[in-house]
Amino acid sequence: MISIRLDGAAELAGTVACPVGTAEGESAAGTPLAAGTPLAVLPSDVAAEVDAFLAATEHKGSAGALQTLPRPLREPSKVLLAGVGSGDEAGWRAAGAALARAAAKESVLTVLAPADLTDAALRGLAEGLWLASYRFRVAEEKPEAAPKLAEVVVAVEATPEREAALAATRIVAGHTRFARDLTNTPSLTKTPEWFVRQVRERAGDGVTVTVREREQLEAEGFGGILAVGGGSVNEPRLLELSWSPADATTHVVLVGKGITYDTGGIDIKPNDAMQLMRKDMGGAAAVVGALLAVADLGLPVRVTALAPLAENMVSGSAWRPGDVVTHYGGLTSEVRSTDAEGRVVLGDAMAYAVENLGPDLLIDLATLTGASRIALGKKTAALFSANEELIGGLTAAGAAAGEPLWRLPLAEEYAGDVSSDIADLDNAAGNPGTITAALYLREFAGSLRDRWVHIDMSSPAWSASPDAELTKGATGWGVRTLVRWLTTVA
């Protein structure tokens, strides 16, 4: 990760970035600058050039917009004019992302910041820089293609409050990048056992790691996880992480779908639908990343993360359409589609949490349905709950983190569709697919039905192209939202 440090006496040499806003402060030419960032902080000749350049380019200061003023053979040698919009956290995040890309070939970047830079603005700037500079490659990268930006100096006083905000942002961004790594890794490598090993190596002090392998899953009755993972030589796991500080008064259980590869099983997917199925454990990556961040931040809230991990493959031992699966706790599911596997493993983990862990709140995240993308597009996750307080808290956290959520209804007129003639539940009740999947999962929430949230984040878990702080590939969606929300729960 890029090194970011605060230095109010930073030398204005090399490549310098100047924030441009849409609301407050103006240059002599009437072009808006971020509040508190007068051109007077630059040498007078540089300030005059920047002032004229802003007017000539008609820079509007919109969040993430960027113009470059080259000054060869002079210092600073380049000035980047980065739009911060209204100057809120989201605007600074967009500016940070734009700067990470524009300055990728520089070794050091100095960012001019207003003297009253808020902690939220600093967090946004740092998140944008750290997340937009993320890269994932399996093959070794050619030196000339690799980014060179190693240090960003924010020219603002290094107060204890700002240093603390920067340190916390680094933790959350680092675990978001870890979730991206987990999700981006090809499934030839990413088996359930491999996933567990990565998390063990990452877990710090105070985090308890428990892993159930096949024999224990069989002995304890995790029939859903075993059925989905039965067709693969890479055996399933149930990964359980726990953070339990002494001063915690609330216990939150996070459950994340962990299908390390999804062929669809015997109801096999077409080739084009399988191309990105390494991302089908994005929910597991998110809940693991969030718990590890919470532990590193030392938040006073008890959190348990459950990741049911399995590979949904085709073989002579694979589960079949028409089978009846007995879940942990005794509920049964008729298998109408082996490509509706995520809800089956989640059901086991949710039932286990309700029966054994005594949570106050239960949240599940899953790359569950393509129907959610049809309903909400590429960037917004679907949220289901009957608890207005949870809906409001998570929606607000997602908006602040730049990970929007939209509530969809737990429409009771479809509740009967998830029942089966020969079992308790039908695992593929049909359209509206995102809603019937949520209604199916609700059956496993048991006594926590009124304190449960389901988040279908299939689309926003992956970005087809670079976009603000997102890079092409896995987004690590959910880590930032969950941590922000858990901060309010604590």
Contact criterion met (CB below 8 Å) for 309 and 281: yes
Q: How many residues does the chain have?
A: 490
Sign (positive or negative) of CA dihedral 481, 483, 17, 88: positive
Instruction: Extract the tokens encoding 44.
Output: 């007078």
Rounded CA-CA distance 98/352 in Å is 44
For residue 92, which amino acid is it? W
Which residues are CB-neighbours of 7 under 8 A, at least 6 positions away? 153, 154, 155, 156, 158
Contact criterion met (CB below 8 Å) for 425 and 334: yes
- Alpha helices (H) along 136-256: 160-184, 192-202, 214-220, 223-229
> Which sequence positions are flagged as catalytic?
269, 343
Rounded CA-CA distance 85/94 in Å is 9
Query: How many distinct helices (H) and strands (E) make up the chain?
Result: 14, 20
Is residue 140 classed exposed, middle or buried when 0-12, 13-18 and 19+ CB atoms within 10 A define those classes? exposed
β-bridge mates for residue 154, sequence order: 6, 111
Instruction: Extract the tokens encoding 439.
Output: 């209604």
Query: SS3 sequence, 20-88?
Result: EECCCCECCCCCECCCCCCHHHCCHHHHHHHHHHHHHHCCCCCCCCEEEEECCCCCCCEEEEEEEECCC
Q: What are phi and psi of 32, to 5 degrees?
A: -70, 140
Rounded CA-CA distance 168/294 in Å is 10
For residue 294, the number of C-alpha atoms closer than 13 Å in the C-beta half-sphere is 35
Contact criterion met (CB below 8 Å) for 474 and 183: yes
DSSP type of residue 270? P
Rounded CA-CA distance 344/324 in Å is 11
Q: H/E element holding 261?
A: strand 258-262
Q: H/E element holding 365?
A: strand 361-366
The CA-to-CA distance between both ends of the chain, in Å, stands at: 28
β-bridge mates for residue 242, sequence order: 208, 304
